[in-house]
Amino acid sequence: MLIRKAPDLTSADVTPKQVYLDRRKFLQAMGIVGATAVASRRLLELAIPPQTVLAATKFGDLIKSPFSTTEKQNSYEDVTHYNNFYEFGTDKGDPAKNAQKFNTSNWVVSVEGDVAKPRKFTMEEILKIAPLEERIYRHRCVEAWSIVVPWIGFSFSNLVKLVEPTPKAQFVAFQSYYDSRQMPQGRWAGIEFPYVEGLRVDEAMNPLTLLCVGMYGESLPNQDGAPVRLVIPWKYGFKSIKSLVKIKFQSKMPPTTWNLSAPNEYGFYSNVNPNVDHPRWRQNKERRLGEIFRRDTLMFNGYGDQVASMYNGMDLKKNY
């Protein structure tokens, strides 16, 4: 098996967070000072910077991916302030507020189950699995809105090859981090945590399936699933699990959170499909954030060339 050489990005390249001054925060703070103070709390934050704010790491030398769309990217502001991350609250603006202090240091992703080489990956190890690419994907939420995001990462298959799944492995189960002390809003979400998701192994091995560590040239903001998540662009957004801690290869189809919550509304596959409505709303159109009127939703979110063959002979109305 070919294991690609590690990228030349090492932990030494990661700017120490104590030294790093988040430009965005700084400019924001300057704006507030200039505009003669909107809220005194912000000013206090400026005087005494909160210790827990993790500075974003910039990623240089990203490989441009042929999978990228040329469509107009959404603004960083939209993608970081309109989030579904129910562990941090169910309003779209909640995660941006409540995930600020989420501690993602010493992150470990455990890979287990039907694999020849189970192991735990630290973030440093994950960043060395394959060269980082920028992939600009369309992202379609089951709620009928969509965004275009320049994600950073590499095909999930690179990690799979390292752990060598056995022939028994038919499915991959994923689990998000959950800590009710760090995520107190989660208890009101109305869904069970930790959040779990799953894919068939062939879906997981599809080159489009991205193990994602950043976006917009930087490491992932907390509210977007820091420090590592999946992005599966031909499926509804809730399949793209955030803040990943566990990956398990298995022979049985794993349970998935939204399917457990409402099985008639959210299936295991959840491929973007304009011909199969959600029981409560139509799926043939979507609103691209930043636009007012809806546009047509594309089959497999426009990624049919890469993924349609995986579902040959399957009734996608039944396997929604």
Q: Of 24 and 120, which has the nearer Cβ to other proteins?
A: 24
Q: Of 166 and 261, which has the nearer Cβ to other proteins?
A: 261
3-state secondary structure 102-144: CCCCCCEEEEEECECCCEEEEHHHHHCCCCCEEEEEEEECCCC
In angstroms, the CA 92 to CA 82 distance is 5
- Tell me which of 21, 282, 309, 314 binds other proteins, using CB under 8 A: 282
Query: What is the closest distance, in whole angstroms, from the C-beta atom of residue 42 to other proteins in the complex?
Result: 17
Pattern 64-93, other proteins, x by CB under 8 A? ----------x--xx--xx---x---x-xx
Number of residues located near other proteins, criterion CB under 8 A: 27
- Tell me which of 19, 188, 305, 317 binds other proteins, using CB under 8 A: 188
- Tell me which of 34, 60, 190, 313 binds other proteins, using CB under 8 A: 190
Residue 166 near residue 115, CB atoms below 8 Å: yes
3-state secondary structure 155-221: ECHHHHHHHCECCCCCEEEEEECCCCCCCHHHHHCCCCCCCEEEEEHHHHHCCCCEEEEEECCEECC
| β-bridge partners, 273 | none
Q: Is 294 in the site for other proteins (CB under 8 A)?
A: yes
Hey, what are 231's tokens? 């992005």
Pattern 236-275, other proteins, x by CB under 8 A? -------------------------xx-------------
Query: What is the closest distance, in whole angstroms, from the C-beta atom of residue 95 to other proteins in the complex?
Result: 13
Q: Which residues contact 320 (CB under 8 A, 6 or more apart)?
A: 267, 269, 270, 271, 273, 276
- Tell me which of 126, 159, 189, 230 binds other proteins, using CB under 8 A: 189
Count the residues in the chain. Answer: 320
Identity of the amino acid at 138 = R
Query: What is the closest distance, in whole angstroms, from the C-beta atom of residue 106 to other proteins in the complex?
Result: 31
By the criterion CB under 8 A, which residues form the site for other proteins? Answer: 74, 77-78, 81-82, 86, 90, 92-93, 143, 145, 188-191, 261-262, 279-282, 287, 289-290, 292-294
